[in-house]
């Protein structure tokens, strides 16, 4: 079930993540040139509404359609999404997430039906007219059929959110957000759910607190600081570096393994997240666009004018609350990370002595010299990019040249990759994505002992 939820969440966030640059551009233009912005300018502000109403939904639809049916899917997804855009007076991000992939799926089915039925020389004609005719029909159907449904859904969601805001219950969102993040659903929550709500709110008020609900680095920073003080083993030694990467680099995935080592720490992150939201809500803090990655630098860049004090205070309060609660949990109920690693090694040696095979994912054979390694994470942009950098440095230090190291989404690992490094919670998805690659499953992105073991194996294979 967790894997299915992750896959669905990855699909939602996968339509938004590649377009984050466009969201940032829109957010900067909004923050600078709207009436309450840093440099109010009526002429430049004319771009704000067309970008949110048309450009961003079309980019989402094209990306979603491309995932389903390549470039043709992206084109028909954008065509059909024009129907929900024109048929509504609010930004249709959810509509784009529905219509884009759905239209591409319909075109894909049509292409499969027509396979081997088109006479030679008529391929281009059929391809172009099929997109044109089916796209036009789907755009009309979306305008009259899907738009009312999406609008009704938006109204229900807005009413639900309004209830939480009006009754000061928004901090309770942390009860759902923080545990879901640890299951690697952070991108799905932020970009699949909160961002569409936030952008719609920006259209109305010029800022939105929804961009801060998941992106606040405070709860994770509090956990890592607690590990720095009272952690044990490799968890303590790696926590300072993880804290810097998390807070300034915005890679929240780096603190998830520290939570998984002691799930009671979820209490600390929930309390920290709720306290931060309470401060943001009380002081009217909001961002003008999604902050991705969730770095303090990105938050400050996307901050609404005159809200720096409230923003920084909310992050600090979330950090302190998370730290104070995590401290006794780690001190009196913490586990020795080194002892856990030793236990894993002991179990491995015990299995070997009894002739019991290791799990297939950990022992897949590599044929020939290794030329390509992939570090995979949920979105392929955060922890995987950091992990790829670490691996490259270790390969260079070991004198292993000619090995390409890439970072990629766990759901689309290239077929020519021979070794895949990923978090153990993503192992099943990685094995399904590229069943022929050797899997190296880790829990600590910065100081995983598996890195050094892999380097030793590569030195033997590639000598």
**Which residues are part of the catalytic machinery?**
377
| Distances 92 to 75, 81, 181, 278, 383 between C-alpha atoms, Å | 17, 9, 25, 29, 30
Distance in angstroms (rounded) separating the CA atoms of residues 215 and 219: 10
> CB–CB of 274/171 below 8 Å?
yes
Helix (H, G, I), strand (E, B) or coil at 125: helix
Query: Position of tokens 């002739």?
Result: 355
Instruction: Select from 30, 85, 76, 13 the least CA-distant residue to 55.
Output: 85
What is the phi-psi region of residue 99: left when phi exceeds 0, alpha when psi lies from -120 to 50, beta otherwise? alpha
Distance in angstroms (rounded) separating the CA atoms of residues 62 and 444: 35
| Distances 310 to 18, 161, 192, 279, 317 between C-alpha atoms, Å | 30, 21, 26, 7, 10
Q: How many CB atoms lie within 10 A of CB 1?
A: 5
Look up residue 171 and give its two tokens: 């901090």
Q: Pairing relation of β-strands 419-423 and 372-377?
A: parallel
């Amino acid at each position: 079930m967790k894997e299915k939820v992750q896959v669905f969440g990855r699909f939602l966030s996968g339509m938004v993540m590649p377009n984050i640059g466009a969201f940032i551009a829109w957010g900067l233009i909004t923050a600078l040139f709207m009436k309450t912005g840093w440099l109010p300018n009526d002429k430049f502000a004319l771009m704000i509404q067309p970008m949110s109403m048309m450009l961003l939904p079309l980019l989402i639809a094209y990306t979603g359609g491309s995932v389903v049916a390549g470039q043709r899917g992206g084109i028909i997804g954008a065509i059909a999404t024009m129907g929900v855009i024109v048929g509504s007076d609010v930004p249709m991000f959810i509509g784009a997430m529905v219509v884009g992939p759905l239209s591409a799926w319909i075109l894909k089915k049509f292409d499969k039906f027509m396979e081997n039925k088109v006479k030679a020389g008529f391929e281009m004609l059929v391809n172009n007219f099929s997109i044109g005719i089916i796209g036009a029909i789907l755009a009309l159907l979306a305008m009259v059929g899907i738009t009312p449904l999406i609008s009704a859904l938006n109204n229900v969601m807005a009413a639900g959110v309004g209830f939480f805001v009006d009754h000061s219950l928004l901090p309770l969102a942390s009860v759902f957000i923080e545990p879901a993040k640890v299951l690697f659903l952070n991108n799905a929550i932020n970009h699949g759910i909160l961002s569409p709500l936030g952008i719609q709110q920006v259209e109305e008020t010029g800022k939105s607190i929804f961009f801060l609900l998941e992106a606040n680095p405070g709860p994770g920073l509090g956990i890592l600081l607690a590990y720095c003080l009272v952690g044990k083993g490799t968890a303590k030694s790696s926590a300072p570096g993880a804290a810097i990467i998390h807070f300034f680099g915005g890679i929240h995935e780096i603190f998830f393994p520290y939570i998984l080592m002691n799930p009671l720490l979820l209490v600390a992150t929930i309390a920290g997240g709720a306290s931060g939201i309470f401060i943001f809500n009380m002081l009217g803090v909001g961002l003008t666009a999604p902050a991705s990655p969730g770095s303090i630098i990105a938050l400050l860049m996307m901050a609404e004018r005159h809200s720096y004090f409230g923003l920084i205070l909310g992050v600090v309060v979330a950090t302190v609350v998370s730290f104070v609660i995590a401290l006794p949990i780690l001190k009196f109920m913490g586990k020795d990370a080194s002892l856990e690693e030793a236990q894993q090694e002991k179990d491995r040696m015990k299995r070997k002595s009894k002739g019991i095979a290791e799990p297939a994912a950990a022992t897949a054979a590599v044929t020939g010299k290794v030329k390509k390694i992939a570090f995979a994470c949920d979105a392929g942009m955060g922890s995987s990019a950091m992990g790829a950098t670490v691996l490259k440095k270790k390969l260079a230090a070991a004198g292993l040249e000619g090995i390409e190291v890439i970072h990629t989404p766990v759901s689309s690992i290239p077929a020519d990759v021979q070794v895949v490094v990923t978090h153990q919670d993503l192992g099943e998805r990685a094995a399904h994505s590229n069943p022929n690659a050797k899997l190296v499953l880790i829990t600590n992105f910065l100081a995983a002992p598996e890195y050094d073991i892999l380097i030793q194996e590569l030195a033997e294979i590639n000598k």
